[in-house]
């Protein structure tokens, strides 16, 4: 089941909301959420619920052992066992085919490539489990004694299949002590509606335009056509994933949970380091806290750890070389920025830093898009203009121009929404200090959200396949 479906919005969510708020005790409410989360996960592939429950039970029991033997050598054994099994399952389901393909290529052999179906969301709930194990070992959080409460944490449906990667410490207290107010429910619902509209109104339409250019062989694509398509692809990925995160955060708040932000207007960044402080924050902070500071061969090596982090960041996104290149690509620029230093970069001209960062980011999304390495090579030939010399490609073309004219309002609106314009408008109405202005803002905001919900619902009527991009990770 996906958030961007009428079944979820008007049936599943409505039933869960009603069942949840007709329960009196928090324990009953938690059980409702557990059942709803397992049903949500089992909607497409029921068999993988067994793996989800196994992962929850295994990590829960390992954490109890870690807590029992804390400050003893046995604790390290259980940490290693837990993380080892978690990563082994992730490798088996996500990377086996990729590994076999590369072995065949390197050794010129023909081992049958296994066709293993990857459980949806495995990258997300595996990393949540690892963060919990490490936090228990570091005594950041105490091990959860009740299995059903840990299962609620790991399987909570708003963030189960595509994040954000919620750490146990974030919602530890709210599992046992939370109360959703009318403000929480209304603000959460509005946040979820905004996220849904990002996906349905912006991301889906941007993707349709991108497919006209990147959905086929790009050998003859013009220089401007390539830049046009990759810019729109960058916006598409942002609205698709940030839209999901908005829905997850909004739904969590409707049930009394407060997840951390996962996106903070990343396109306003001036450096690549700042971009990753604003983009997919839960993933970048995971690697920062659980991998970057880890000693390699008994010693913490700053730059070796840096490239290990970015290798893993790329690999986490998919079993394909382009994702590894994508991660290392950003790692190289963060390495360069680290060597230059923050103080020096702050002295750079702001216009130039914005141009620099956007060029790097947009080209990076091109690497992210093309899993076919031959197409990726053509992308670089096109975007650098080399193909105009070697292949006689055009600088521009009428198809690109017509597409730009036909979608100009969509593009302008997408660019505006990707900037922190809405928060400033909300700040104006909330902090003006005038009750009339505040009331107008509240009524206007509610009316806009209702309109967005209606528009999104209309667009979803004939659109039955709306998977979010990050479902495949």
Torsion sign (Cα): 370, 372, 376, 381: negative
Per the annotation, the verdict on 108 as an active-site residue is: no
Torsion of CA 90, 115, 379, 265, to 10 degrees: -40
* Distance, CA of 93 to chain centre: 20
For residue 451 the two structure tokens come to 């309109």
| Model pTM score | 0.93
Average pLDDT, the chain: 91
pLDDT at 149 over 80: yes
Q: Please give the pLDDT value at position 355.
A: 94
Mean per-residue pLDDT, 438-461? 89
pLDDT exceeds 70 at position 467: no
Closest of 204, 224, 203 to residue 213, by C-alpha: 224
Q: Are 363 and 230 in contact (CB under 8 A)?
A: yes
pLDDT band with cut points at 50, 70 and 90 for residue 300: low
Domain ranges for the chain:
6-178, 180-218+239-263+400-473, 265-384
Compute φ and ψ for 301, nearest 5 degrees: -115, 110
Judge contact between 66 and 136, C-beta under 8 A.
yes
Q: Quick check: 250 and 188 in contact, CB under 8 A?
A: yes
pLDDT, tens only, 209-249 = 999 999 999 999 999 999 999 999 999 999 999 999 999 99
Q: What percentage of the chain carries pLDDT values higher than 90?
A: 75
Confidence of residue 372 (pLDDT cuts 50, 70, 90): very high
* pLDDT score recorded for residue 297: 53
Q: Which residue in the list 108, 258, 280, 317 is annotated as catalytic?
A: 317
Which pairs count as long-range contacts for 297-301, CB under 8 Å and 24+ apart, including other chains?
none
Average pLDDT over residues 80-95: 94
470: confidence class by pLDDT, cuts 50, 70, 90: low
Does position 468 have pLDDT exceeding 80, yes or no?
A: no
The SS3 assignment for 299 reads strand
Please compute the mean of the pLDDT values over residues 90-116 and round it to a whole number: 91
């Amino acid at each position: 089941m996906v958030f961007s479906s009428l079944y979820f919005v008007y049936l599943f969510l409505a039933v869960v909301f009603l069942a949840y708020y007709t329960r009196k005790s928090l324990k009953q409410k938690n059980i409702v959420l557990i059942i709803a989360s397992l049903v949500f996960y089992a909607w497409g592939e029921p068999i993988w619920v067994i793996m989800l429950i196994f992962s929850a039970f295994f990590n829960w029991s390992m954490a109890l052992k870690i807590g029992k033997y804390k400050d003893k050598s046995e604790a390290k054994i259980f940490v290693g066992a837990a993380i080892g099994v978690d990563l082994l399952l992730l490798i088996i389901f996500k990377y086996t085919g990729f590994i076999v393909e590369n072995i065949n290529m390197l050794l010129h052999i023909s081992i049958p490539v296994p066709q293993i179906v990857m459980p949806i969301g495995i990258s997300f709930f595996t990393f949540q489990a690892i963060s919990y194990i490490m936090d228990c070992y570091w005594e950041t959080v105490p091990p959860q004694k009740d299995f059903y409460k840990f299962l609620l944490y790991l399987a909570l449906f708003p963030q189960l299949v595509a994040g954000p990667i919620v750490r146990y410490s974030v919602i530890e207290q709210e599992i046992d002590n939370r109360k959703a107010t009318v403000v929480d429910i209304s603000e959460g619902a509005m946040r979820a509606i905004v996220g849904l509209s990002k996906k349905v109104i912006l991301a889906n339409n941007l993707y349709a335009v991108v497919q006209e250019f990147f959905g086929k062989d790009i050998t003859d694509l013009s220089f401007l056509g390539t830049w046009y398509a990759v810019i729109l692809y960058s916006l598409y990925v942002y609205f698709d994933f940030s839209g999901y995160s908005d829905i997850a955060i909004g739904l969590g708040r409707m049930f009394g949970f407060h997840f951390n932000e996962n996106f903070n207007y990343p396109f306003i960044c001036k450096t690549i380091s700042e971009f990753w402080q604003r983009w997919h924050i839960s993933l970048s902070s995971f690697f920062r806290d659980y991998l970057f500071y880890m000693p390699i061969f008994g010693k913490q090596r700053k730059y070796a750890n840096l490239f290990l982090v970015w290798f893993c960041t790329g690999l986490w996104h998919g079993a394909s070389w382009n994702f590894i290149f994508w991660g290392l690509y950003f790692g190289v620029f963060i390495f360069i920025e680290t060597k230059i230093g923050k103080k020096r970069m702050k002295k750079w001209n702001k216009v130039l830093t914005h141009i620099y960062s956007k060029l790097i980011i947009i080209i990076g999304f091109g690497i992210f898009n093309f899993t076919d390495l031959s197409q990726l090579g053509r992308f670089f030939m096109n975007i650098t203009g080399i193909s105009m010399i070697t292949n006689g490609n055009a600088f521009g073309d009428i198809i690109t121009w017509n597409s730009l004219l036909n979608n100009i309002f969509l593009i302008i609106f997408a660019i505006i929404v990707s900037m922190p314009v809405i928060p400033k408008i909300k700040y104006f109405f909330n902090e003006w200090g005038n009750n009339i202005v505040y009331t107008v803002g509240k009524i206007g905001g509610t009316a806009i959200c209702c309109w967005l919900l209606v528009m999104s619902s209309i667009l979803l009527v004939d659109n039955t396949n709306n998977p979010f991009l990050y479902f495949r990770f």
